[in-house]
Amino acid sequence: MIIEDGVSIINSDLQFRGNGAIVYIACNKYPVKINVQAWTNTMLYIGENVHFTGPLRISLSEEQNVLIGDLCTFAVESVIRTSDAHLIYDCITRKRINPSKSVLIGEKVWIGQGVTLLKGTTVGSGSIIGTCSVVSNKRIGTNECWAGNPAKLIRRGVFWSGICTHNFTTETATTFELAKGNYNVFISDKTVDCFSKICEIDVADIQKKALLHKNFEAISKLLHDEVN
């Protein structure tokens, strides 16, 4: 486990259930709240300043990874899984039909309350997943809003602000509406593309380098170089 300076972990439970599992948490101005089960040869990367309303449940299985970019927000009761947990076979061919897959999340993604992200899901930067949605094995682009079970595209070309609206008045809302041009709009999948390259690295190689703390330093630098 590698934790950068300035990280506070609260209300969390991290279980390393196999050999070679890696958890890397980048510097964060918010408390990190995660419940993680990391099995053999899996990897979790959490980028900078990721906000957790409540503990994010993450299950890392079958040598697959969960990679989360900077500035994301996870509402309460959110879940990420890389595996179905059990094997499913075709009755005729007797071949397995449900391989596990990594989950990749770009920068400034908003995951709503009770969302479940299942194996093979990729969420592009600036996108939103609505409350109680279930996303499985889908590629969500940048600046898109998806919702439902199964999740479907609601709208393209959107962006969001982390400012909380709970105590807004009509006048307040109008003020922020006029200022929306100052918000940062994400239109690039560079973070996700970089994550995809990382997932292609040989698992054994990741293990050896991470033990020396060199591989994740390189990954962190690569992420920031690619995005910036």
pLDDT digits (tens, 9 = 90+) for 27-54: 999 999 999 999 998 989 999 999 999 9
Q: Return the closest-CA partner of residue 38 out of 10, 11, 57.
A: 57
pLDDT, residue 213, reads 46
Distance (Å, rounded) from C-alpha 118 to C-alpha 203? 21
Query: DSSP code of 90?
Result: -
Between strands 151-156 and 144-148, the pairing is: antiparallel
* DSSP letter for each residue of 106-136: -SS-EE-TT-EE-TT-EE-TT-EE-TT-EE-
> What pLDDT score does 115 carry?
98
Q: Which tens digits make up the pLDDT trace of 48-87? A: 999 999 999 999 999 999 999 999 999 999 999 999 999 9
Q: What is the H or E stretch that residue 198 is in?
A: helix 190-199
Helix (H, G, I), strand (E, B) or coil at 153: strand
Residue 73 one-letter amino acid: T
| Per-residue pLDDT, 183 | 60
Look at residues 133, 125, 105 and name the one whose alpha carbon lies nearest to residue 198.
105
**Kind and range of the H or E element at 52?**
strand 51-52
* 3-state SS assignment for residue 199: helix
Cβ atoms of 34 and 1 closer than 8 Å: no
Q: Which two tokens stand for residue 168?
A: 């807004």
List the chain residues with pLDDT less than 70. 173-184, 203-228
pTM exceeding 0.85: yes
